[in-house]
Structure 1
């Protein structure tokens, strides 16, 4: 697949000007060129993720004076979409880290969040330690992995144990954060666990898509936590603050799907240009000259553009919500971003798998070989979309129009 398709002066590009200006273009292009090999051979992207860390991907939102690139929230999403177009596994693996940085930027004076930002500035990435079981009852909130941490008098540090399923990205992360009850004071605290003795991340994720996100089981076996890496909880939210704090997660995933759709459009150009045989009942000798196939490529292009436009609308709403933080406009702006995120997910989750199927229609029997791995696009889209299914979004959006019902405030919506 080429990284750009030039057609009569118009272009469809893998890498946006934003990623290019940040020096990420060559790395993203290389990731795109090697994505099929990783998919076929299940080669985990340790080297690729290490390079992105070294290039500062995990610190893009930090101010320049703090070791980052000082990009806007919108620009972060543009880079994330480029990366998802190259390989959605890698983009997905960074999601939890990028959210944790985003949360830390809001409270950078708090010692816990200052620690998170220092790790990001140092090129480290951070995983989460939430939800110790995959059997969560309806209406229940996820529990903590290290539910209690016990003080070790002999060695002067805390110890904690636990197990986390669906630990997206933890296979590649350098540290892990979460909440626990500090046993001596019986008080909830925040902690940072460094990768090291007692930390084990298994590559046992069995999904049919997004196979290399590192979403296996993370195990913490009597891990040692120095006392200077145990912190008080965040202060309570100020009165009147918008309660929808997790819209970032959902927008990021939908943005990843939009990246996959862009890759489908790029792959579609390559499929038609390189397809060698046409059906005997076609109207042209070569597929590239076949009117029905040209029209089908145009359909893929148009729908792909519509998908990106839909997520761009939501990203703009999320940027407005960020910009309103601490002002009288915050509540309405955050609510608007949450509604927009639900709308984009409903539309994109519905259209994206169809666009992936159209790619196979375009190539017909010429593209169904496992060696091309074009089926990965549909599989990856469906696995990403399965996080917080659109069915619940559809129901809520209808109820919101009918009676003004407000969105749920938990992370899983």
Structure 2
């Protein structure tokens, strides 16, 4: 999918995929990359950059062209998303929940709730989530609803609700939010689509040491209103023959983001070695770029980067096969295979990617530890993304499956 042989090309956009170029995304992706370090230093939230991506249809890539999108395949979506992650992983990560909503809606487009999500996407809007982490500390606790109850206000002919969402990744930039709630008139659980209004606020209070600009703070909903027309019945129960692993997209997307960061590490490694002005006194060459051990280190970074991207591509290809098999006889097997491929990729990439980011510092030594270059962000961002659904549980599952045939869990957090 991705040709990493060009990471040391002198042209500033050579690392961007031909697909992104064809779609007209190359300029904005290059601009995002050029300003990423400055945003990190200044803690400048990427409102403008995300707005530009929305405007050219990044959030609508998967929609058919006759419905306001670009009509790309799932694997092609992830090619472009990796380009964005190589430019700034915060921005790619911020789109994840929206892109998952679109992916789900494309499968269930006949349901009015999902049709609404697709309509918003066609308008170049993005949709966030209104689910929160459960307060229950028991193992296996499930997420709870933010707007747990929507009260009917007859004087205004609409529903009103309040609540908060923690770890609201991307919600700072989203135009609408979806979730579940009990509506007061009939006492039934419904799905809702809530568009941003004065009652929605987002705090930039995410305290992570990486991915600092994803808008992952607290989302607050105060007396927000939802028209009755934007409440929908729950999705019908899945067929007993359907594959129960419906959340593999999440993990593949995050691993794909890490692959993008690793590509940026390789690009930065070239820049570091080309611009490093002096060698150690005990070096064997006058200029660092001519130093054999540093050339070897750069080659190591290049080789491992290619391996990381190839491993991610394998998981993406498996996810595409599962997508193609949706609703068909082979869906169960293809989806299970994608889940295992995603786990295998995560185990490998979560180990290798931080090491590659550390090699970048070795390559530049004291010349690159200044906060001005913000090169430490790569290691930090990798580790924070990797902390989602830790690989330790993936490793155990892979071993159990070989020994006993153990199947993966079906919950969203795996």
TM-score normalised by L of structure 1: 0.97
Distance 1:90 1:333 in 2: 30
Counterpart check, 1:202 vs 2:190:
no
Alignment partners' CA distance in 1, 2:325 and 2:174? 31
Aligned to 1:210, the other structure's residue is in SS state coil
Give the corresponding residue for 2:354.
Answer: 353
The structural deviation recorded for 1:188 is 1.0
Q: Could you tell me which residue of structure 1 aligns to residue 79 of structure 2?
A: 78
Aligned mates of 1:14, 1:133 — CA distance in 2: 41
| Match of residue 91 from structure 1 | 92
Partner of 1:147: 148
| 1:288-367 matched pairs, under 5 angstroms | 288-367=289-368
Aligned mates of 2:33, 2:182 — CA distance in 1:
43
Q: Distance in 2 between matches of 1:118 and 1:284?
A: 61
Distance (Å, rounded) in 1 between the aligned partners of 2:189 and 2:54: 31
For the residue of structure 2 that corresponds to 1:215, the secondary structure is coil
Task: Confirm or deny: 8 A CA contact 1:132 1:162 kept in the other structure.
Answer: no
Aligned with 2:180: secondary structure? Answer: strand
**1:302-334 superposed Cα distances (whole Å, 9 cap, x missing partner):** 000000000000000000000011111000000
- 8 A Cα contact 1:93 1:168, kept in partner: yes
SS state at 1:26 partner: helix
1:133 to partner: Cα distance:
4.4
- Separation in 2 of the partners of 1:293 and 1:368? 17
How far the C-alpha of 1:29 sits from its partner, in A, is 0.2
* Residue in 1 that maps onto 2:268: 267
Distance 1:304 1:195 in 2: 40
Instruction: Quote the Cα distance in structure 1 between the aligned partners of 2:275 and 2:181.
Output: 56
Per-residue displacement from partner, 1:198-256 (whole Å, max 9, x unpaired)?
Answer: 11111111111000000000011111001111011111111210000000000000000
Match of 2:27 in 1: 26
**CA shift digits 1:363-382 (9 cap, x unpaired):** 00000000010000000000
Per the alignment, residue 408 of structure 2 pairs with 407
**TM-score (norm. length: structure 2):** 0.97
Say whether 1:215 aligns with 2:216: yes
Q: Judge conservation of contact 1:145–1:164 (CA < 8 Å) in 2.
A: yes
Judged with a 3 Å threshold, the aligned counterparts in structure 2 of structure 1 residues 136 and 46 are, in CA distance, closer, same or farther, namely farther
Whole-Å separation in 1 of the counterparts to 2:367 and 2:334: 48
Assess, with a 3 A threshold, how the Cα gap between structure 1 residues 61 and 6 changes in structure 2: closer, same or farther.
closer
Match in the other structure for 2:163: 162
Q: Is the 8 A contact 1:6 1:12 kept in 2?
A: no
Partner of 2:250: 249
Structure 2 counterparts to residues 58-137 of structure 1, below 5 A: 58-133=59-134, 136-137=137-138
Cα deviations across residues 263-308 of structure 1 (Å, max 9, x unaligned)?
A: 0000000000011111111111100000000000000000000000
1:389 aligns with 2:390: yes
Structure 2: tracts of 5 or more residues without a match: none
Whether contact under 8 Å (1:134, 1:165) holds in the other structure is no
Q: Is the Cα–Cα contact under 8 Å of residues 178 and 193 in structure 2 kept in the other structure?
A: yes
CA gap 1:183/1:8 in 2 versus in 1, 3 angstroms: closer
CA distance in 2, matches of 1:76, 1:288: 36
State the secondary structure of the residue aligned to 1:171. Answer: helix
Once the two structures are overlaid, the 10-residue window that deviates more, 294-303 or 274-283, is 274-283
Distance 1:6 1:352 in 2: 16
Change (3 A) 1:358 1:124: same
Cα root mean square deviation, aligned: 1.7
Q: What's the offset of the Cα at 1:183?
A: 2.0
Partner of 2:16: 15
Structure 1 residues not aligned, in runs of 5+: none
Aligned residue pairs total: 411
Distance 1:314 1:347 in 2: 12
Distance 1:215 1:241 in 2: 33
CA-CA distance at 1:197 after TM superposition: 2.3
How far apart, CA to CA, are the structure 2 residues paired with 1:328 and 1:273? 54
Contact 2:60 2:124 in 1 (8 A): yes
Secondary structure at 2:132 match in 1: coil
